[in-house]
Amino acid sequence: MTFRLSKSNYVFIVKDKFVLKDNLLLSLVLFQTNEKPSIYLIPSMEWANPNALLVSRDYDKPNQKSKPEWGLNLSKINLPLLEPYEFNKTVKLLIE
């Protein structure tokens, strides 16, 4: 699946393509100039409790036409919230 990245550092995937379940992970790779890529694994169930980083948007108000989506607010202030999902940390939790 592919996320869409906007100029505001927000990425999302529509809810009907990414259904929350225990055995589903989202992989995220962030590329930054002159740095190694940062790789993250986020269990889908983390979106069951949205926060500043992990958001749920339903667009269920009148005149809203977008499909419901799960999103990531990748602003500078929220990037530290990705730390628990660093690839090696998540894999370690999964195999324990």
Q: What is the pTM of this model?
A: 0.85
Residues 70, 21 contacting (CB under 8 angstroms): no
Residue type, 64: Q
Per-residue pLDDT tens listing for the chain (96 residues): 545 455 568 899 999 999 999 999 999 998 878 889 999 999 999 999 999 999 999 998 889 889 999 999 999 899 999 999 999 999 999 898
Position 65, amino acid? K
Structure-block tokens of residue 59:
């667009």
State in Å, rounded, how far the first CA of the chain is from the last one.
27
Tell me what pLDDT residue 7 has: 57
pLDDT at 78: 94
Domain, as residue range, for 29: 4-95
Structural domain count of the chain:
1
